[in-house]
Amino acid sequence: MDPELVLASSSPRRRDLLARLGIVPGRIASPDIDERPRKAELPRVYALRMAEEKALAVTRGVDEIVIAGDTTVAVGRRILQQAENPDMQRGFLKLLSGRRHHVLSAVAVIDTQGRMRSRICDSIVCFKRLGDDEIESYIGCGEGLGKAGGYAIQGRAEALIDWMAGSHSGVIGLPLYEARILLRAAGYPVD
């Protein structure tokens, strides 16, 4: 009998991304962890720690595999958290305007034996130079609130991206290449 997959995330985007691999989680569990970065914590270390802590925070049954992810937007060493309000989002978009930034998307998988494996995907995204009117229009659509860096590439923000290198699915919220590798290594049947 194949193991059940537990998605340690309440994100509908991660569920939709798994569906692209033909995967429907047997169970979805929302992890409750402290997502504040530690003092002087580097973005890559933070993203991996978040994915691993989310996976560990979910109760795993005997024949269950847990998958968790974290998407972190970073400008240099600065971590841009989820935009909690329009002012925070405005500040993020002004910072990102006309410059490149990193989107670090980590994934962690715990197999049926309790062994954790994790990987990180580093994508580079560059917004066009944004005018104040474009920033206000994007804020007005509401899709960037609650998102790391204040934007959602799978929505209207995609039209504001000048170029990108890396994983589109990773920028959305779960790097499918890395997720597939980790799930297969954990014994989950994925083509």
Which residues are catalytic, by number? 70
- Nearest-angstrom CA–CA distance, 62 and 43: 33
CB 168 within 8 A of CB 134: no
Q: Find, among 88, 8, 74, 9, the residue nearest to 41 by Cα.
A: 74
Q: Find, among 74, 51, 50, 70, the residue nearest to 125 by Cα.
A: 74
- Nearest-angstrom CA–CA distance, 172 and 155: 10
CB 126 within 8 A of CB 164: yes
Question: Which H helix or E strand runs over 8?
Answer: none
